[in-house]
Amino acid sequence: MKELLADFHIHSLLSPCAEVEMTPHHIILRAAQYGIGAVAITDHNASGNIPAALEAGAQYGIVVLPGMEVECAEEAHIVVLFDTMEQMDAWQQIIDASRSGLKNVPEKFGGQFVVDAEDNFIREEEKMLLGSCRLTAAEVVDKCHALGGICWAAHIDKRAYSLLTQLGFIGSSLQIDGAEISRNSLAELSDKKLKPLVDNKPYLTNSDAHMIDDFIHGPKNLLRVEQVNTTEIKKALQNIGGRSLQPGAFVTEKV
Domain ranges in the chain? 2-249
Q: What is the torsional sign of CA 18, 20, 24, 25?
A: negative
Mean pLDDT on 106-130:
95
Give Cα 237 distance to the centre of its chain.
15
Instruction: Identify residue 55 by its one-letter amino acid code.
Output: E
**Secondary structure (DSSP) of 102-126:** PBP-HHHH---EEE-TT--EEEE--
Please state, in angstroms and rounded to a whole number, the distance separating the CA atoms of residues 212 and 215: 5
pLDDT in tens, 45-88: 999 999 999 999 999 999 999 999 999 999 999 999 999 999 99
Name the DSSP letter for residue 253. S
Residue at 154: amino acid letter: A
| Rounded CA separation 139/143 (Å) | 6
Q: What would the mean pLDDT of 16-34 be, rounded to a whole number?
A: 98
Within a 13 Å sphere around the CA of 105, how many CA atoms are in the beta-carbon half? 5
C-alpha to C-alpha distance for 168 and 149, rounded to whole angstroms: 25
pLDDT category at 245 given cuts 50, 70, 90 is very high
* Whole-number pLDDT of residue 77: 98
Assign 21 to helix, strand or coil.
Answer: coil
> Where does residue 103 rank: exposed (0-12), middle (13-18), buried (19+ CB within 10 A)?
exposed
CB atoms within 10 A of CB 120: 10
Over range 104-124, report the average pLDDT. Answer: 95
Q: Which fold has domain 2-249?
A: TIM Barrel (3.20.20)
Q: State the pLDDT at residue 111.
A: 96
**Predicted local confidence at residue 1, as pLDDT:** 95
Q: What is the pLDDT of residue 253?
A: 85
Model confidence at 101: pLDDT above 90: no
The pLDDT score that the predictor gives to residue 100 is: 87
Among the listed residues 120, 145, 114, 124, the one whose alpha carbon sits nearest the alpha carbon of residue 51? 114
What's the average model confidence in pLDDT over 42-47? Answer: 98
Greater confidence (24 vs 252) lies with: 24
pLDDT over 90 (residue 239): yes
The pLDDT confidence band at residue 98, using thresholds 50, 70 and 90, is very high
Q: Sort 193 into a burial class: Cβ within 10 Å, 0-12 / 13-18 / 19+.
A: exposed
Backbone angles phi, psi at 240, to 5 degrees: -100, 130
Dihedral angle at the C-alpha atoms of 181, 229, 16, 252, nearest 10 degrees?
Answer: 60
> pLDDT tens-digit profile of 6-19?
999 999 999 999 99
pLDDT at 213: 98
Tens of pLDDT, residue by residue over 203-215, are: 999 999 999 999 9
In angstroms, the CA 113 to CA 125 distance is 6
How does pLDDT run across 153-198, given as a tens digit for each residue?
999 999 999 999 999 999 999 999 999 999 999 999 999 999 999 9
Q: What is the pTM of this model?
A: 0.97
